[in-house]
Amino acid sequence: MSLFHPVNLLCPQCEAPVSMSAVGSVNADRRPDLRDDILENRFQDAACPACGESFRLQPQFNYLDAGRGQWIAAMPANRLRDHLELEDEANDLFSTSYGSQAPAAAQEVGKGLTVRLTFGWPAVREKLLLRQLELDDVIVEMMKLHILRSVETAPLAEGIELRLVDVDEETGSYVFAWLETASEKYIEYLNVPSELYVVIHDNPEGWAAIRGRLETGPFVDMQKLYMGEGRHTGDERQAG
């Protein structure tokens, strides 16, 4: 089931008290409307009753969509640098919920789930969108690396990220956007031919080393490649 709990916050604009329900877990099989809210960038929105300022509670919940084979530990964007520690925590939680430490019935569900760890709303939304589009998220991260090598300039900096956000229906190309993680403000859009996905998909040997680095844990995101040495291939703890 999807679980919520009451939280008391201060408005970021006027510091008036704001009460709302914060999600602890989302079961998209039973509450598909919550999945829709995430995709529409309106989940966990709040408005200050005193000044009317709108803001969004940062994600900190577990997401399950057994029908689409997804289990995600969604964390606040400011925890990004703790990704190695949080990968271990996510793997442990999955193990007791749907992996080797879970009851037999839950393990059956877990066999069909892909485990992921995300930071911030744009990242968790992207994972849902990619599964809807039936795209391999590892290949999409490799597309981003290719984009970085191909463009003359890129607004790459801490707090700025590149996300696949849509599909151009007229051209069939993938729409990527540079955006600010905290504010979710879009900075710049790029249309990338869908052929790039096919080229990378059809060249597994050429991309094997990068895939290996991206798949060292449930945090599958090119940002991990820029944050120190990281976890060595084969050293990760396997969920389940």
For residue 31, tell me if it sits in a domain: no
Q: How many domains would you assign to the chain? A: 1
Per-residue model confidence (pLDDT) at position 98 = 97
pLDDT at 138: 98
- 45-51 long-range contacts, CB within 8 A, separation 24+: 46/9, 46/18, 46/20, 48/11, 48/13, 48/14, 48/16, 48/18, 49/16, 49/18, 50/11, 50/14, 50/16, 51/11, 51/13, 51/14, 51/16
pLDDT at 151: 85
The domain in which residue 139 lies consists of 58-226
Say what the pLDDT of residue 152 is.
Answer: 81
Contacts (Cβ under 8 Å, ≥6 apart) of 232: 216
pLDDT at site 1: 66
pTM recorded for the entire structure: 0.91
Q: Is residue 234 part of a domain?
A: no
Q: How far apart are CA 29 and CA 68, in angstroms?
A: 9
Q: Is residue 45 part of a domain?
A: no
Is 147 part of any domain? yes
Instruction: Report the candidate in 224, 177, 180, 211 with the shortest Cα–Cα distance to residue 81.
Output: 224
CA–CA separation, 188 and 160 (whole Å): 11
Q: Do the domain assignments include residue 8?
A: no
Q: What is the distance, to the nearest Å, from the Cα of residue 208 to the centroid of all Cα atoms in its chain?
A: 22
pLDDT at 235: 45
Please list the helix, strand and coil fractions of the chain in percent, rounded to the nearest 5, in that order.
35, 25, 40
- Which residues of the chain are modeled with pLDDT < 50? 235-240
Does residue 51 lie within any of the structural domains? no
Would you say residue 143 lies in a domain? yes
Query: What Rg, from alpha-carbon coordinates, does the chain have?
Result: 18
Whether 235 is in a domain gets the answer: no
Instruction: Return the bridge partners of 75, or none.
Output: 119
